[in-house]
Amino acid sequence: MTADADVDPSEYDALEDADVTMRENDHGLHIADDEVTGVSSQGQTPEEALANLAAAVESYTEATDDDPGDDWL
């Protein structure tokens, strides 16, 4: 991870193998990017951006999972 040393992506299971970059835009929003999946999220604080990114990566992973989910058959 780069930019903000106060936040730790490894605290989130969804970001365990992520390469996270943090940045701040011109409006003061913190943006977290997962370089592996290409998923980004934002928040008012770096911690919030990272938590939002973890949720977004988890959703992305579930949506792109190759498991057809045939358990219901």
Question: Tens of pLDDT along 13-41?
Answer: 999 888 999 999 999 999 999 999 999 99
pTM over 0.95: no
Q: If 0-12 CB within 10 Å is exposed, 13-18 middle and 19+ buried, where does residue 52 land?
A: middle
Q: Strand 40-43 to strand 20-24: parallel, antiparallel, or no bridges (unpaired)?
A: unpaired
- What confidence score (pLDDT) does residue 49 get? 96
